[in-house]
Structure 1
């Protein structure tokens, strides 16, 4: 059975209205990621961070874009039946356009990003630790919902950096602590139109050696995997259980490091394994992303053994 790693529970194409628990509750440093589409006939959509799944539960944060002639976004919270409204007389959303919404939970406020740009900050009126449910309603079409940084069984919460959002390309970043058994790297991205290929590479620090190169070739419709040591490429691997990448489409790539191999998932489906060709995992400390790729975020997490 394949289970999403803790701290990362994607939901794809949910029916609206949608209500889901936030396992373990919210904490500072966590994020909510939503990718969807604004239809032409929309009047509003609502995202609520709630203190319970029941209808009358307190609402710590309401994000409510409205399209009623004077387009605006209303921010709100409700405690003991009393609302605390704030609103903007502008909106970053356009009808018939896709959007990416990120809500970052900071110590003092919710920080809202839309399409990679900061849009608003809403100060906490209810402690974030009381938030345990996410609700989405209205006329919006949603493709992906991710709760990032939570869901650890037994209250376990490793101290690791938060996601890197809207990474500039090409991207090169340090893998915190290097690779290790049970480490997972998650990349949310989009294949641009007329893209040729993109590369996800795990590099050995201080050298140009590549322990694992994951290389979807869009026009050929193949996914090449390989390693590069001492100035030479090794034997290519190409077999996959399915080909998941399409021009203009969003995707999630999850690379899990096991005892003997990497396991690669795309949009929650296992597509291939790759046996380790470099034994000292801790020296693999750099992630590089290159060529035809738009990146929404990069995130590192530590699944427990039960999730391998």
Structure 2
């Protein structure tokens, strides 16, 4: 079964490093780039470039370069017309050798707002027009679990032939562009992008905690960043077929269990109780109707919820069942046991850190 990302959500999983991949439809204010990965114990340095074309040459709007060299620092810069510009050095190191990390690059009105592991780190003021950025490059001593562009979709002149299937024009484009990476990048690499080409405009501006003036095509609700757990939110517009929920987070060290619940607040029924039990190595699924729990479902081919691991979960409501994907892989289906139209609330509880919720 193929993971179907909603428009405006461009994930790439486990790319080979060095990596060079596209930002379909280009970059603009309000978008975010999430990078999840880990730092090797013998790190020297790595860098992330936001490039102004889809090849490994030309201008660089943002060069983000952590250096472990005895005088640990993170260097920010830009590259224009064949020359590096003035460096900005932050003599603080938010990354730890041998540890996992999550970096968010938010495109703000004044600059790139960089957060590491949920904490503000540095804002690099724009030197080149954001609209010129077309690609992401990652090189050096780093292992990457996922790169996700949020708030994408297609601007004029996009690539309608690179849609994602599942009701989006153009079908699935494995690997983004034929032959792996693009231009004169790294042959045989993994561009891995899910194409743009989504007709229509932008719906749903960023809510509190987001970046001002942003929009997320195709995802109608307000995105929520770094909510406290336990967390609950009303599902505006109600549940309906093809509605997709994106939950990005991390299972902290020492975690025992967590739960994601889809609730009908009027009746108190829980249509889906998704219950990863970290220490037991299980992901239990169930429903609670009329005060009574139903039959548990436990069978899984793999369990992605492990201590210290990040996860990127997509829960999609179908006519007959929920389809759940984690890190781009199909995890399970859960057949509806009550009318999904009654569902009006999402709850997240337990031992989990949540970075982002959107539906």
TM-score normalized with structure 1 length: 0.87
> Aligned residue for 1:97?
99
Q: More displaced, 102-111 or 242-251?
A: 242-251
Q: 1:29 to 1:204 in 2, by over 3 A?
A: farther
Q: Which has the higher strand share?
A: 1
Equivalences for residues 160-239 of structure 1 within 5 A: 160=220, 163-239=223-299
Say if 2:100 and 2:309, in contact at 8 Å, map to a contact too. no
Query: In the TM superposition, what whole-angstrom CA distance separates every residue of 1:233-260 from its partner, at most 9, and x where no partner exists?
Result: 2333333343333333222221011222
Equivalences for residues 122-133 of structure 1 within 5 A: 122-133=124-135
- Alignment gaps of 5+ in structure 2: 154-195, 205-219
> Aligned residue for 1:72?
73
SS of the residue corresponding to residue 198 of structure 2 reads helix
**Residue 263 of structure 1, CA deviation:** 0.4
The number of aligned residues is 299
Q: More displaced, 5-14 or 93-102?
A: 5-14
Q: More displaced, 234-243 or 115-124?
A: 234-243
| RMSD of aligned alpha carbons | 2.3
- Alignment gaps of 5+ in structure 1: 301-308
Say if 2:20 and 2:56, in contact at 8 Å, map to a contact too. no
Counterpart CA distance in 2 for 1:95 and 1:220 is 29
> Aligned residue for 1:247?
307
Query: Is 1:267 equivalent to 2:312 in the alignment?
Result: no
SS of the residue corresponding to residue 63 of structure 1 reads strand
Counterpart CA distance in 2 for 1:176 and 1:107 is 28
Counterpart CA distance in 1 for 2:145 and 2:259 is 24
> Aligned residue for 1:140?
142
Counterpart CA distance in 1 for 2:118 and 2:279 is 28
**Residue 294 of structure 1, CA deviation:** 2.4
Pick 1 or 2: higher relative contact order, CA cutoff 8 A, min separation 6.
Answer: 1
> Aligned residue for 2:317?
257
**Residue 189 of structure 1, CA deviation:** 2.5
Structure 1 ranges of 4+ moved more than 4 A? none
Say if 1:30 and 1:162, in contact at 8 Å, map to a contact too. no
